[in-house]
């Protein structure tokens, strides 16, 4: 069968499900990862980028020669920049300076105007999301073709994109036999859109948040309180607030996952299943295993394989860094 795409945009989505052998054996369930790292920009965030740009175009906020501004941990910025390049938009990205060098280099190498800022809590005006919003306003006077703040956290076009694409794909790929879905939340778009779609199809599908230590969302779901404990080396997931996209999510419960639980899963996947995945994937897979143990054997559970490990080499495979933090290391380094 001929599979030809007319452009870059058409290659986003329709990613396969991959059975996770060890996770399935541990639980007696069929645990599948949706291989979002196969999107052309290398992550699940290509879907959000496409949805946010389509929304801006439909609202006539931008035309060729215009500019997209966004605050990001990296992956959404990469998606926005590559899509922007293909559509004739310039891209300015605001990112915390503590993100991996690999992501900074990627953004610079694909032509983004990268602005690094020190990490600040959302309550601070210096927070990267707020800086991006202000910067977009400032730049509007300098571009006649439109300057758009993508606002991935609170622009619900993000969740809508997953409701219209990722959710239906999971439903079709499992032939409607999905019993559980679990993933982390950064913006809330992925879990917001997918959970809404799956719950509409079958209200009994169990939806669980897998939250990294240091995020406040686990306590919010379980106890109704935005309170964080501990910390994690994962990037791009976890939150201190309920975003507009996360508010759309239909969630039954949550798991708190620390790096001691997630990192060994990632190292075993590389060694035994040939999957070299990013840090948030470890949180997702740990959550899928927890959900499998909770709902019992024989069930079908899906999670998201967000991106690959190459964006996190300087953390995941840095023995000194890991040992200083008291974290597990891969056996081969």
Q: Catalytic site residues?
A: 45
Please enumerate in sequence order all residues whose Cβ is within 8 A of that of 208, keeping only pairs 6 or more positions apart, or say none: 180, 181, 182, 251, 252, 253, 254, 255, 287, 290, 291
Q: What contacts 182, CB < 8 A, 6 or more positions away?
A: 207, 208, 209, 210, 255, 284, 287, 288, 290, 291, 301, 302, 303
Strands 30-35 and 67-71: unpaired
d(CA 83, CA 220): 34
Closest CA to 128 of 92, 81, 84: 92
3-state secondary structure of 7: coil
Whole-angstrom distance, CA of residue 303 vs CA of residue 6: 29
Q: How far is residue 154's CA from residue 52's CA, in Å, rounded to a whole number?
A: 11
Distance, in Å, from the CA atom of 252 to the CA atom of 264, rounded to the nearest integer, reads 27
**Distance between CA 40 and CA 75 in Å, rounded?**
12
286: phi then psi, degrees, rounded to nearest 5: -60, -40
Long-range contacts from 55-58, C-beta under 8 angstroms, 24+ separation: 55/155, 55/157, 55/160, 56/146, 56/148, 56/150
């Amino acid at each position: 069968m001929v599979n030809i795409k007319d452009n870059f945009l058409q290659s986003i989505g329709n990613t396969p499900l991959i059975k996770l052998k060890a996770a399935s054996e541990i639980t007696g369930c069929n645990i599948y990862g949706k291989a979002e790292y196969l999107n052309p920009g290398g992550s699940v965030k290509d879907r959000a980028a496409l949805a946010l740009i389509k929304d801006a175009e439909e609202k006539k906020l931008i035309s060729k020669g215009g500019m997209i501004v966004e605050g990001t941990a990296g992956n959404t910025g990469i998606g926005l920049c590559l899509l922007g390049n293909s559509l004739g938009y310039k891209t300015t990205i605001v990112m915390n300076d503590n993100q991996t060098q690999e992501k900074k280099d990627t953004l610079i190498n694909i032509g983004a105007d990268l602005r690094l800022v020190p990490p600040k809590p959302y309550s601070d005006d210096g927070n990267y999301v707020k800086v991006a919003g202000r910067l977009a306003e400032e730049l509007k006077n300098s571009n006649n073709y439109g300057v758009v703040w993508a606002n991935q956290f609170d622009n619900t076009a993000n969740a809508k994109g997953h409701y219209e694409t990722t959710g239906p794909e999971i439903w079709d790929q499992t032939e409607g036999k999905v019993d559980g879905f679990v993933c982390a939340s950064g913006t809330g778009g992925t879990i917001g859109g997918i959970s809404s779609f799956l719950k509409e199809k079958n209200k009994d599908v169990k939806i669980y948040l897998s939250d990294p230590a240091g995020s406040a969302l686990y306590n919010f779901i379980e106890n109704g309180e935005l309170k964080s404990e501990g910390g994690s080396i994962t990037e791009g997931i976890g939150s201190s607030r309920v975003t507009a996209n996360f508010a759309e999510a239909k969630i039954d419960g949550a798991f708190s996952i620390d790096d001691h639980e997630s990192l060994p899963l990632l190292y075993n996947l590389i060694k035994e299943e040939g999957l070299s995945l990013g840090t948030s994937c470890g949180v997702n897979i740990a959550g899928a295993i927890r959900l499998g143990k909770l709902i019992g054997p024989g069930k079908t559970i899906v999670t998201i394989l967000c991106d690959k490990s190459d964006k996190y080499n300087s953390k995941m495979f840095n023995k000194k860094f890991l040992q200083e933090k008291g974290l597990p290391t891969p056996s081969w380094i």
